C-alpha cells in the first residue's frame, strides 16, 4: 500500500505521522512518503504588486521569504521522518509549494497513493466555516484513495 502522510509540524499532524507509522508497521509492504506543502503567501501577483511594479529588491525579498518557508518545511520533515526512523521504517520526504489541499490531492493522484493520512486541527462550528479546513477539502476532493483524518 502507498501511504501519503501530511505534516505541518503541528501536534495533530505529528499524531497523523505516528498513526501512519503504525499503519505502515502493521503491513507487509508499504511505500510511505511524508509531504509538507507551503503556500505561496508571497505571490508577486498579489494586489500589492498591482499597485506598483515589482522591483529587484521586491523579487529578492520574495525569494528570501520563500527560501525561509522551504527551510522550515525541511526541518519539519526531518523531525517527522525521525518517527519512522526510530521504528526502522523506510519513508521518503516531499516538499511542495502550492495550495495545501489541492497540492496534497494532486500529489496523491499523480503518484498513485492509496491512502492519505493527515491531522485534524479540531476546528468546529464557526471557526471551521471561517477558516476552512484542509482535512475536509482533502476528504471531499481525493478520488480513488482512502483518507484517514487523525484527531
Residue pair 87/21 in contact (Cβ under 8 Å)? The answer is: yes
Q: What's the mean per-residue pLDDT of the chain?
A: 86
Q: Which domains does the chain have, with CATH numbers?
A: 2-40+69-150 (3.40.50.620)
**117-143 tens-digit pLDDT:** 999 875 555 545 444 588 989 999 999
- Mean pLDDT, residues 4-29 taken together: 94
pLDDT at 65: 87
Three cell numbers, residue 74: 525541511
**53-97 tens-digit pLDDT:** 678 887 888 888 889 999 999 999 999 999 999 999 999 999 999
Secondary structure (3-state) at 87: coil
pLDDT at 131: 42
pLDDT at 30: 85
Predicted TM-score (pTM) of this structure:
0.85
Longest Cα separation, the chain = 57
pLDDT at 28: 82
In degrees, to the nearest 5, what angle opens at C-alpha 37 toward C-alphas 31 and 40?
155
Amino acid at each position: 500500500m502507498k501511504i501519503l502522510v501530511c505534516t505541518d509540524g503541528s501536534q495533530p499532524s505529528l499524531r497523523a505521522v505516528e498513526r501512519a507509522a503504525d499503519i505502515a508497521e502493521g503491513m507487509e509492504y508499504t511505500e510511505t512518503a511524508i509531504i509538507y506543502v507551503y503556500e505561496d503567501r508571497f505571490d508577486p501577483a498579489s494586489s500589492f504588486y498591482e499597485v506598483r511594479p515589482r522591483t529587484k529588491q521586491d523579487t529578492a525579498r520574495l525569494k528570501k521569504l520563500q527560501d525561509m518557508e522551504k527551510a522550515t518545511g525541511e526541518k519539519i520533515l526531518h523531525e517527522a521522518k525521525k518517527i519512522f526512523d526510530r521504528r526502522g521504517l523506510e519513508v521518503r520526504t516531499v516538499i511542495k509549494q502550492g495550495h495545501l489541499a489541492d497540492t496534497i490531492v494532486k500529489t496523491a493522484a499523480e503518484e498513485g497513493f492509496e491512502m492519505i493520512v493527515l491531522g485534524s486541527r479540531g476546528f468546529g462550528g464557526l471557526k471551521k466555516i471561517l477558516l476552512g479546513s484542509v482535512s475536509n477539502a482533502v476528504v471531499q476532493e481525493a478520488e480513488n484513495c482512502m483518507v484517514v483524518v487523525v484527531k
